[in-house]
Chains A and B, each alone.
Chain A
Amino acid sequence: MLAFLALTLLPIGWMVYSSLKDSTDIAIGKVGLRRAGRDVLMIVPERENLLIFTADGGLNRYHAQDLSKLKHHSLKTQATSYLLEDEYVWVASANRGLVRASRAKLALVDEFKFPLWGIDMNKVSTSYIKKQGYDIFVSLEYKDFDDVLRFDVRQLKFMKLIKGAKSQYFPEAAKAVIKEFPDVEGEIFSEARDGDVLYMGTGGGRLYKYDLNSKQIVAQALLPQGHLLVRWHNYIDMWRNVNFGLYLKNSLIICGFTMVFAMIFATFAAYALSRFRFPGADIFSNAILATQMVPMIMYLIPLYIMFVRFTIMTGIPVKGTYPGMILIYSAWFLPFSIWILRGFFAAIPKELEEAALIDGCSRLRVFWHIALPLAIPGIIATGIYVFLTAWDELMFAWVLTDADTMTIPVGIRLFVGNYQNRFDLMMAAAVVATLPVVVLFFMLQRHIVRGLTAGAVKG
């Protein structure tokens, strides 16, 4: 049974896992997470030691004699670039912004987020950093990003963005120099000369010590592996890539009001049906059941044309507005709500109300003060169920909403389409869309389960 449980939960785990991966990795079927590249970006001789900085944010201190490791600390950054000072190491990175680390201890001191909005940080390929006077200038390699960030070292804060100045501050940005060397594996990313010795760092994270006199490699080392690239940033990018915040808001508004209205009307109707044997009650309750048999699309086609025609005739917009959607949803979920609530009312003993009537209470007072308080748990459970079902509704929303009132099911489709294939963001959005449902359901699990199963068991 546990094996079956694992198999059942596997797709959900896959959803969460995919939301932390790279979009291309999902498409090509790379199951494991990628590791950050450990390209050696900078080698600095420091008396008898070497300082080595790698692309994954690795700060290393190696012994210069035999290239043995003395200290390693990883900042876990992406698209890293380094600026070395006497006391500090400044690190510009896509995911953590500007980081200041202590040169002596090779440990994080503080970090400053870039004042940038709307940049997909997973897609930044390189960053640039340089210092002039008391200012540090940073720029990024990303689509047509052409600006430079200015950071004031004395005030420790970012100043105004310098627009379109990337080529001016970083003329080397356009050039890429690939160097190779005999006996060295991979491309050389960085080199440093110290007397008769040449140190070289390569793309794969290898470090070589080359003696210029004897013309041979005297020592080599492999730097520690980069960190796993868990793309937490997908959960931030999904709000920027498409306007997911708007869809979430629309869904909350439409589903929330639907729940309230459907519950108000359904409570009245269900109470009437469970307490009165009025003429027409049978027809009414059969009609409620019969609506469940009618395909949704049969309503949708006339409703769509009615909405369009109504706007043409009166000038009042209905299609693509909150009231229009709430009206349709409330009406659509009414029959089901009445049916469930009727069961809850039927379970409340009648004697209490009869006694109150004999004492001279009006019908309305009996309903308001006796029946309603007893039915509140049932009403809440049914309301939550209506909310969850409305949250899940696609067909009406697809046709009857527009760009401003799109709900999540309609809007989530925009992550994958003609212009982009962002499986990772889509899965992150799917997780976010599922979370409220999970929370609501588990908060009220007992009530919902009881409400649903009561009818079936009784027959």
Chain B
Amino acid sequence: MKPKKKKLWHRIKQDRFAYYFILPTLLAMLFLHLSPIVQGVYMSFLKLNQFTLQQYLLAPFIGADNFYKVLIDPHSPIRIGLFEAVRNTVIYTIIVTIGTLAIGMVVALMLNRKFFARPLVRTLFLFPWIVPTYVTGLLWGIIWLKQGGLVNVMLADWLKIIPFKPSWLSGPNTIWAIIIPTIWRYWPLSMLMLLAGLQTIPDELYEAADIDGASPWRKFWMITWPMLRPVWFILILFGLIYNTYSFNIVIMMFGFGAGYPGEWGDLMMTNIFRNSFQLWNFGTGAATSVLLLIVMVAIVNVWFTYFKKSEDLR
């Protein structure tokens, strides 16, 4: 036992330079990442609202009552709101993740050929991704306007596809009103990554497939898609995380940063934010975010395990 300990100490001493280098980061991580998370978890067991805010961590300890309110209590308004938020977030995350990947893939394939002014076209395609997300929210808030919005003007006045001007920012249409701008904002990133991936695939694979007389469809599923595996693994992973935590676009679109997104537009983040900073229920807000974190860790783990397993199979 003793020699091993000595060896460890020796190694620490030898690499002390590295410790000096990570020290500031370590401190920042401890005080501004770890400590808030621990406090957040603890807060989820406290009755913390605007009356008990002054006591903070000494606020009444109520055990799992916050979780009961959030998950089980049939009379709690928070639970009803949360159910809608969870449903919307699931729909939103799945459609946005798949949508960005699909559009990004199609455009990346188109851009992977040589044609006139290709760098310019690629750069122009990146434009939506450069627009800040809060601007995206405000902009699409104007585009979805019932009377003057571009969508209604195009569909009803110019193309005459629909006989009336529907309301996009209220009712069940809202879910589309938040999905489409998010896909619009994020697909260029997928395209960029997939394009970089496409350029690493050796041409010989396609030449060999051509000799075998494979159809383009088959070539895509047998060569392109498997070769892009590391790219879409990362894209789906980060898509799941970031879209579940999506906030800016949705909150800015409804009432231009002041409104409630409605029962079909409310996401987890907007729900928790409203509970915490507008209704001042910090306890239930913290409880909801703890639950969200647990679900997220589970999802990421499942995705990693699936990926590892299928990697081993290959």
Residues of A within 8 A of B (CB): 1, 4-5, 8-12, 14-15, 18, 25-31, 265-266, 268-269, 271-273, 275-279, 281, 284, 287-288, 291-306, 308-309, 327-328, 330-332, 334-335, 338, 363-364, 391-392, 394-395, 398-399, 408-409, 412-413, 415-417, 423, 426-427, 430, 433-434, 437-438, 441-442, 445, 449, 452-453, 455-459
Contacts and interface: CB of A to CB of B under 8 A. Distances in A.
A26 B21 contact: no
A5 B273 CA distance: 36
B209 interface: no
A301 B36 CA distance: 8
Range for the number of chain B residues in contact with chain A: 35 or more
Interface stretch (B64-72, B94-102, B134-142, B217-225): B134-142
Given A298-B293, A459-B230, A434 B40 contact: no
A12 B128 contact: yes
Contacts of B157: 29, 31
Contacts of A300: 276
A441 B124 CA distance: 12
Given A297-B276, A298-B293, A278 B192 contact: no
A11 B143 contact: yes
A265 B25 CA distance: 6
A275 B18 contact: yes
Contact of A27 (B36, B147, B189, B256): B147
Interface string B117-152: 000010111111011111100111011010111101
Report which residue of B138, B233, B290 has the largest number of chain A beta carbons within 10 angstroms of its beta carbon.
B138
B125 to A, nearest CB: 6
B175 interface: no
A457 B232 CA distance: 10
Contact of B12 (A278, A287, A392, A452): A278
A11 B129 CA distance: 12
A276 B18 contact: yes
A291 B36 CA distance: 12
A168 to B, nearest CB: 42
Contacts of B53: 305, 308
A437 B133 CA distance: 12
Given A29-B149, A265-B28, A456-B231, A1 B121 contact: yes
Contacts of B51: none
Contact of A438 (B130, B231, B234, B292): B130
Interface in B260-280: 268-269, 272-273, 276-277
Residue from A9, A296, A302, A408 whose CB has the most chain B CB atoms within 10 Å: A302
Contacts, number: 262
19 contacts: A1-B121, A11-B140, A15-B139, A27-B145, A28-B147, A29-B148, A29-B153, A30-B148, A268-B25, A299-B40, A302-B43, A305-B282, A306-B36, A331-B31, A335-B33, A364-B17, A394-B134, A453-B193, A456-B235
Given A11-B139, A287-B29, A456-B230, A297 B147 contact: no
A79 to B, nearest CB: 25
Contacts of B17: 272, 276, 363-364
B25 A457 contact: no
B245 interface: yes
Contacts of A449: 192, 196
Contacts of B235: 456
Contacts of A305: 53, 56, 282
B250 to A, nearest CB: 11
A408 B257 CA distance: 12
Nearest to A288: B29
Contacts of B145: 26-27, 29
Contacts of B152: 29
A409 B132 contact: yes
B13 to A, nearest CB: 10
Contact of B25 (A1, A30, A269, A437): A269
Contacts of A269: 21-22, 24-25
A430 B253 CA distance: 13
A230 to B, nearest CB: 18
B2 interface: no
B196 A426 contact: no
The listed residue with most A CB atoms (<10 A of its CB), out of B127, B184, B233, B252, is B127
B98 to A, nearest CB: 18
Given A268-B21, A453-B192, A11 B135 contact: no
A434 B133 contact: no
Given A12-B128, A434-B130, A456-B193, A293 B296 contact: yes
B15 interface: yes
Nearest to A458: B230
A422 B15 CA distance: 59
A413 B132 contact: no
B170 interface: no
A213 B128 CA distance: 69
Given A11-B128, A26-B148, A301-B40, A279 B25 contact: no
B192 A330 contact: no
Interface in B290-305: 290, 292-293, 296-297, 300
Given A271-B21, A303-B36, A457-B197, A298 B273 contact: no
Contacts of A296: 245, 247, 269
A430 B135 contact: yes
Given A8-B125, A278-B19, A427-B139, A299 B33 contact: yes
Contacts of A292: 241
B78 interface: no
Contacts of A297: 269, 272-273, 276, 285, 289
B40 A302 contact: yes
Given A12-B131, A30-B148, A295 B28 contact: no
A285 B165 CA distance: 52
Contacts of B196: 449, 453, 456-457
A440 to B, nearest CB: 9
Given A26-B142, A265-B24, A276-B15, A434 B289 contact: no
Given A284-B22, A433-B132, A459-B230, A309 B56 contact: yes
Nearest to A269: B25
Contacts of B277: 304, 398-399
Contacts of A417: 256, 258
B215 interface: no
Contacts of B22: 268-269, 272-273, 284
A28 B138 contact: no
